[in-house]
Amino acid sequence: QVRLVESGGGLVQAGGSLRLSCAASGRTDSRYAMGWFRQAPGKEREFVAAINTSGDSTYYADSVKGRFTISRDNAKDTLYLQMNSLKPEDTAVYYCNEGALWGQGTQVTVSS
C-alpha cells in the first residue's frame, strides 16, 4: 500500500494563497483517483476536490469551486491543491485520500 504525506499547510491572511502537496511513497500498485478532504473543529470531514487517475478530470465542492485547483504529477507521484482567495471558513485540517488510504493531514489557518 501507498503512504500519503501532506505538506504545505500554514497560516495565511484572508484573500491569500497556499499550495498543499500530498506525496505518495512506497507504491507497488497502480494509481487510482485521489482527492482532498477537510475537517474543521466540531464539524464532519467534508469533500473538497477530486481528480481521476490521468489528471484530466476534476470535481469540486461548491464551496471551493473557482478558488481551488486540484492537480497531480504522476511522474512525481504527488497530488496538489492550489488554494486561492482563501476565506476564514477554509480553516481546517486538510487530508489527501486515495481509495481507503489517508494522509496524516496538514493544518490550514486563514486569519481575518
pLDDT digits (tens, 9 = 90+) for 58-71: 999 999 999 999 99
- Cell 484573500, residue located: 15
Q: Extract the C-alpha cell encoding 13.
A: 491572511
Percent of the chain with pLDDT over 70: 100
Q: Could you tell me the three cell numbers for 20? A: 498543499
Percent of the chain surpassing pLDDT 90: 91
Answer whether residue 16 shows pLDDT above 80. yes
- pLDDT digits over 27-75, tens only? 888 889 999 999 999 999 999 999 999 999 999 999 999 999 999 999 9
Three-class secondary structure of residue 100 per DSSP: coil
Q: Tell me, rounded to whole angstroms, the distance of Cα 48 from its chain centroid.
A: 7
